[in-house]
A and B are shown apart, each in its own frame.
Chain A
Amino acid sequence: MADNWQFVAAAYGLAAAVLGGYWRRLVRLDRKLAAAQVRRRNRPADKIQ
């Protein structure tokens, strides 16, 4: 029985790429929103100056 390790590696590699890609998308969105929230909070202060 051949072991087909290259198939095992392909399956796990693709899964890691897809799941890791989604995770990175969430992290980036999170950072973008944090930046937007900071900007919103600072806006009234800008006006006072």
Chain B
Amino acid sequence: MTRALGWLATLGLIGGLVMGFGVAPREVTQGNVQRIMYLHVPTAWVAYLAFGIVFFASIGYLWTRSDAADRLARASAEAGVIFTGVTITAGSIWGKPTWGTWWTWDARLTSAAIMFVMYLGYLLLRGIIEEPEQAARYSAVLGIVAALDVPLVHFSVYWWRTLHQPPTVMKPGPVNMPPAILAALLVNVVAFTLLYTYFVVKRVNTLRREHEVLA
């Protein structure tokens, strides 16, 4: 089952590369460097998704005290940190030639960096507290509080003046993007979501067995 999901994600990523580099045209204004978008945007979306899952799993844990909810929160936070790292790195590499700088402290970049460091802190907190029930409880609270930053990241481009452009797809109104570029983006969104799901399922599985071996 997990293995099948892994292959599905691999297939999706291959499809995403074919769409992003083979099917989608060279963007007129930016040139080929725009193809970084097929990595940057899907990983950013997955990061939102991952931290959203941490939020709901944390509420679920405080509600039911179920170990499964705690394991889901932890697994999703790990994946979320990984994907946030990728989206920030890819964005920075794109920013250098297009914007003219690797980094700037505008609202979008700052809130995204805060999101990354907060969830890094979340994982560290889980490591510090040795008593498992206590670790689960404290991190559930942090998992809920940290999620406040996630909408801030997304809407920062509307609420403040930023260097970062507003979203093209995840917004109300028409999408000003050629169909082939949009299709490539959507295939990659699906592929990276599959990869995230595979990571979480596999991680939850190892966390459960770790618990059994230690018991």
- Direct contact, A vs B (beta carbon within 8 Å): yes
- Which A positions have Cβ atoms within 8 angstroms of B? 1-5, 7-8, 10-12, 14-15, 18-19, 22-23, 26, 29-30, 33, 36-37, 40
A8 and B43 in contact (CB under 8 A), knowing A15-B90, A30-B206? no
* CB–CB B209/A7 < 8 A: no
Which residue of the partner chain B has the closest CB to A15? B86
Other than the given A7-B36, A8-B33, A30-B202, 15 more pairs (CB < 8 A) read A3-B26, A7-B94, A8-B35, A8-B36, A14-B89, A18-B82, A18-B86, A19-B82, A19-B86, A19-B195, A26-B203, A33-B210, A37-B212, A37-B213, A40-B213
Which residue of the partner chain A has the closest CB to B203? A26
B97 CB within 8 Å of chain A:
yes
B-side interface mostly = helix
Min Cβ gap A3→B in Å is 4
Which residues of A sit under 8 angstroms from B82, Cβ to Cβ?
18-19, 22
Min Cβ gap A40→B in Å is 7
* CB–CB B199/A11 < 8 A: no
Which residue of the partner chain B has the closest CB to A29? B206
Which residue of the partner chain B has the closest CB to A18? B86
Which residues of A sit under 8 angstroms from B202, Cβ to Cβ?
26, 30
* CB–CB B39/A1 < 8 A: no
Which residue of the partner chain A has the closest CB to B82? A22
